[in-house]
Amino acid sequence: MNAVSSSQQLIKTKKITRRHLLASVAMSRWSLPLILASQALLSLMLLRNTAFQDEALYLFAGRQIISGWLGLPHFPVSWAYFLSGYADFYPVIGGALAMLGGVELARMFSLLCMMVATVCVHYVTKHIFGHNSAILAAVLFAFQGPVLFIGRLATYDALCLVLVALAVVLALHVSIARRPWAILGIGPLLVLAVLAKFAGLLFLPIPLAMLIWCSLERQGWRKTLLRLGMALVSLAVPSVVAYIVLDKEALHAVSASTTSRDIIVKTAPLFLIQYIVTLVGIAFVLGLLGLALGGRRHLLTGLLLFGSSLLVPAYHIYEGELISLHKHLAFSMIFVTPLAGYAVARIVDYQHTLSFGRYWLAGLALCLITFSSGVNQAQSLYGAWASSTSLSSAMRTQARLGSGRYLAEDFDVCRYYLQDVTDLWQWSGLDFFEYTDKKGQYLVGKDAYRAAIHEGYFAIVELSYGYNAALAVFIGQELAASGNYQIIDKIPNSNSYGRGYFWIWRKL
């Protein structure tokens, strides 16, 4: 009787074990696709707005460049001289997509890039810490506020990020591969990352350092040196080719926008630290915890990952630069979320049999907090600029193709949405303006704006008193004092910071 009972119990145990195994396989197979689907759906459903000024600039530039290549009418501009990425790379991709499907299609490309980056984070974490940590790392990465944000922004940030992530994946793959030929792809990926966004220069050493350490662990010194040599050659050759072939005016843009960038407004280090903690503080704390829990086995790899994640915060704090920090923190998340995923997996004590440790509620709470705060932050970032739908409609009623000059504070957005009814040369903004008055005097800055307004140079003027409020106030005062203009529309707007108006003045 006891034998029969024991046999039945054994069969029951085997059935339960088999069900757990099948469930584990199913979860392993579907977890990453579900994360990617959630990332895409949340981005598309919750993050909606008209074009941001950077999006409008790059998409407009791309369309102009393509028109020049095709021999279509366009106004020649040295785009490579001042854009923060190579003008003939991302702007052309984004511009072509926008020509086919508008801003939303260009944004879909960025979303695809960030979904691929999520897959890369999963691969890196699985390679170092295991499958369970990889799933949690993918969740923690995909739903960070900065990651969701640049996944819905038609700029070069997402493309640069995914190219860096792919280079890291390739470095890890080659470190365990018997044949190292795939290593020749690392250099081209890094060169393309820098061309996409010149700030990608900051991340050039990371895939190489990852390659060296991981190869040393598995291949020994001789094979490591061989792989490093191949990687350096793969980086040097396309770099030389790019220097020979590409427009040399881009060298000015590299210096002006990245390596020797002038910081107009310095931000206090304490404020920057608080800002970083607000956006991604949980990820960094979990990353530090993962580094501590990794022990000696993962110590050097963990230090490399955590150190890489600190490059962006360190640079911005050192320079006192707040601009683009929220976007650049997404790059940090590539490196810190593998450690964070490992930390949560250890807290949860998640096993392959789908059993959880006694602290699983704490791990679940951490994931939910990250998800909730990330979505809220992304929505806040995406609402930082006011919708321009009403503004574009109002300006469209006043604009005439090839006739009249237009001064607009929201210069890039107006120019992009009205490119079918205006020419590029008709537009001026608040960043820089030069003017020769009727007496033949060449003027720049406020003097140029004052003279142009009093001589009735502009047919339409649009102000919103936003990023350059002091200059906008000056222009508004001159418009009123000149007697040449009247306000024809006052359009309400709102963003994450509050409410305001678009003011439109027309020449009498």
Percentages helix, strand, coil for the chain (3-state, rounded to 5) are: 70, 5, 25
- Reported confidence tier of residue 260, pLDDT bands at 50, 70, 90: low
- Name the pTM for this structure: 0.89
pLDDT digits (tens, 9 = 90+) for 23-36: 444 456 788 999 99
3-state secondary structure of 164: helix
Please say if the pLDDT value at position 357 is more than 70. no
Closest Cα to residue 331, out of 132, 215, 196, 188? 196
Question: CA angle 111-112-113, nearest 5°?
Answer: 90
Q: Region 445-466: what's the mean pLDDT?
A: 95
pLDDT-derived band of residue 343, with 50, 70 and 90 as boundaries?
very high
Query: pLDDT for 204-249, tens place per residue?
Result: 999 999 988 888 877 777 888 888 898 999 999 999 998 898 888 8
The pLDDT value recorded for residue 27 is 54
Is the pLDDT reported for residue 6 higher than 70? no
Domains annotated on the chain, with CATH: 2-378 (no CATH), 389-507 (3.40.190)
Tokens describing residue 445: 């800055």
How many angstroms separate the CA atoms of 318 and 315, rounded?
A: 5
Tens digits of residue pLDDT in 158-183: 999 999 999 999 999 888 877 888 88
| Of the candidates 434, 424, 417, 430, the residue with the CA atom closest to the CA atom of residue 402 | 424
Query: Residue 16: is it exposed, middle or buried by C-beta count within 10 angstroms (0-12/13-18/19+)?
Result: exposed
| Beta strands 406-408; 427-428: pairing state | parallel
Q: Which of 292, 313, 371 is nearest to 39 (CA)?
A: 371
Question: Residue 504's closest CA among 492, 490, 494, 493?
Answer: 490
Distance from C-alpha of 122 to C-alpha of 139, rounded to nearest angstrom: 9
What is the per-residue pLDDT for 25?
46
Distance CA 317, CA 410 (A): 29
pLDDT band for 258, please (50, 70, 90 cuts).
confident
Phi, psi of 494 (to 5 degrees): -150, 150
- What's the mean pLDDT in 119-137? 93
List, in order, residues 6 or more apart from 87 with CB less than 8 Å away: 61, 65, 79, 80, 247, 250
pLDDT band at 8 (very low <50, low <70, confident <90, very high): low
Residue 351 has pLDDT above 60, yes or no: no
- The pLDDT tens digits for 410-426 are 999 999 999 999 999 99
Q: How confident is the model at residue 271 (pLDDT cuts 50, 70, 90)?
A: very high
Residue with tokens 């350092």: 209
Residues 285-319 pLDDT 10s: 999 999 999 888 888 899 999 999 999 999 999 98
